């Protein structure tokens, strides 16, 4: 129906020309490229990585996506027919690929710590150019070329712009467009977050012109969960959520809870967002007892910034309204620290009233 409308919208150029030139020159000069994203990849990390990899392969490059650990099951529909390497499962093979590559690209993360220690050691040790393509604040100085745009909705949007500004849109096909569309959709909460300014809609419109199946992509990436995940999340909300002063929510899941519901990576995705649908709850925290640490995720609304809290207390970071980090200690200690932070937040609020 919409295809009869004219395709007139121009997307503004925002990446500086020197970075585009360096990016293209480096890609032109190599044949073997490794694309990496952060641990527990999400729709944006995987969408941007797959899309860029497919474009580079179409250009004749030997490009490989290496993800640090097992992908959430919810993303497996994206990777059908696409070969990629999972570092934690194939350390030897991944190590060989990294040792033989001529270029490393880091997508959707801002510091090497985000890929985990053993993969980080290999990436840092590789004496090849490293290009960062990312939308998180405060990129570290570990990269040779930085295409860092924290003002953008997603790395997938940035990849679209990078392809556009590099003159590479001819390599985009329906699969590439679908991957980027999923990345933007999932990182913007289907365009509901404040990070969705008008041009995001234009970029998504451009991607729709490649004939993507929007209802299918939405259903698969935003509205499909395994039954055990639905049960685990329901249990968490019913039995493991504490509300403080009617305005802050804390959910905790320990090892025993996770085992009871046969937890797999990705099963708690978006759980931390759920308390925010209650009026007056503007700050939500979720703590999960992982094998090596307590994973802490925070979400907020309005003026309340959670990235600073995650950086200061949980060795993490992220965005103003969606951030996360890790706590090294017991769940009880993590919860105690949380209550200290709550007291601090309440005192600060008192001072500003």
Strands 317-318 and 145-148: unpaired
**Partner that binds at residue 44, options ligand 5GP, Mn ion, none, CB closer than 5 to 8 Å by kind:** Mn ion
Q: How many residues at the interface with Mn ion, by CB under 5 A?
A: 5
**Partner that binds at residue 188, options Mn ion, ligand 5GP, none, CB closer than 5 to 8 Å by kind:** none
**Partner that binds at residue 319, options Mn ion, ligand 5GP, none, CB closer than 5 to 8 Å by kind:** ligand 5GP
CA gap 214, 302 in Å, rounded: 29
Q: Contact, 142 vs 173, CB < 8 A? A: no
Residue 183 vs 317, nearer CB to ligand 5GP:
317
DSSP string, 186-207: HHTTTTTSTT--HHHHHHHHHH
The reply on whether position 187 binds Mn ion by CB under 5 A is yes
Residue 160 vs 327, nearer CB to ligand 5GP:
327
Residue 44 vs 267, nearer CB to Mn ion:
44
- To the nearest whole angstrom, how small is the minimum distance from the Cβ of residue 97 to ligand 5GP? 24
The reply on whether position 134 binds Mn ion by CB under 5 A is no
Chain residues that interact with ligand 5GP, rule: CB under 6 A: 114, 297, 316-319, 322-326
The reply on whether position 164 binds Mn ion by CB under 5 A is no
**Partner that binds at residue 322, options ligand 5GP, Mn ion, none, CB closer than 5 to 8 Å by kind:** ligand 5GP
Exactly one of 34, 35, 40, 44 binds Mn ion (CB under 5 A); which one?
A: 44
**Partner that binds at residue 183, options ligand 5GP, Mn ion, none, CB closer than 5 to 8 Å by kind:** none
CA gap 37, 69 in Å, rounded: 10
Q: Which of 110, 105, 148, 104 is nearest to 126 (CA)?
A: 104
Subset of 97-126 contacting Mn ion (CB under 5 A): 108
- To the nearest whole angstrom, how small is the minimum distance from the Cβ of residue 177 to ligand 5GP? 23
Residue 212 vs 286, nearer CB to ligand 5GP:
286
Four-residue CA torsion sign, 227, 228, 233, 234: positive
| CB burial string 94-114: b at 16+ within 10 A, e below | bbebbeebbbbbbbbbbbbbb
CA gap 297, 288 in Å, rounded: 9
- To the nearest whole angstrom, how small is the minimum distance from the Cβ of residue 316 to Mn ion? 14
CA count, 13 A, side-chain hemisphere, 200: 25
CA gap 219, 231 in Å, rounded: 19
């Amino acid at each position: 129906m919409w295809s009869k409308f004219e395709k007139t919208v121009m997307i503004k150029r925002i990446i500086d020309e020197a970075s585009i030139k360096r990016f293209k020159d480096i890609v032109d000069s190599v044949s073997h490229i490794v694309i990496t994203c952060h641990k527990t990849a999400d729709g944006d990390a995987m969408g941007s990585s797959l899309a860029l990899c497919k474009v580079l392969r179409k250009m004749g490059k030997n490009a490989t996506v290496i993800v640090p650990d097992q992908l959430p099951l919810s993303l497996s529909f994206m990777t059908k027919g696409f070969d990629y390497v999972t570092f934690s499962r194939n350390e030897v093979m991944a190590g060989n690929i990294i040792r033989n590559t001529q270029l490393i690209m880091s997508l959707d993360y801002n510091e090497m710590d985000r890929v985990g220690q053993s993969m980080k050691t290999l990436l840092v040790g590789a004496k090849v150019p490293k290009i960062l393509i990312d939308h998180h604040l405060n990129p570290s100085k570990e990269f040779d070329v930085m295409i860092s745009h924290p003002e953008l909705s997603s790395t997938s949007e940035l990849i679209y712009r990078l392809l556009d500004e590099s003159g590479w849109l001819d390599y985009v096909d329906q699969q590439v467009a679908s991957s980027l569309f999923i990345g933007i959709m999932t990182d913007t909460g289907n365009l509901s977050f404040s990070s969705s300014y008008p041009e995001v809609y234009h970029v998504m419109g451009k991607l729709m012109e490649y004939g993507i199946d929007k209802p299918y992509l939405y259903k698969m990436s935003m509205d499909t969960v395994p039954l055990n995940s639905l049960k685990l999340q329901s249990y968490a909300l019913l039995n493991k959520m504490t509300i403080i002063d009617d305005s802050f929510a804390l959910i905790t899941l320990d090892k025993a809870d996770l085992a009871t519901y046969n937890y797999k990576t990705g099963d708690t995705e978006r759980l931390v967002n759920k308390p925010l649908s209650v009026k007056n709850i503007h700050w939500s925290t979720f703590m999960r007892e992982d094998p090596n640490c307590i994973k802490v995720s925070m979400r907020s609304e309005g003026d309340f910034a959670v990235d600073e809290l995650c950086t200061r207390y949980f060795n993490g970071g992220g965005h103003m309204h969606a951030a996360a980090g890790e706590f090294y200690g017991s769940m009880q200690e993590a919860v105690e620290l949380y209550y200290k932070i709550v007291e601090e937040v309440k005192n600060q609020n008192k001072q500003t009233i």
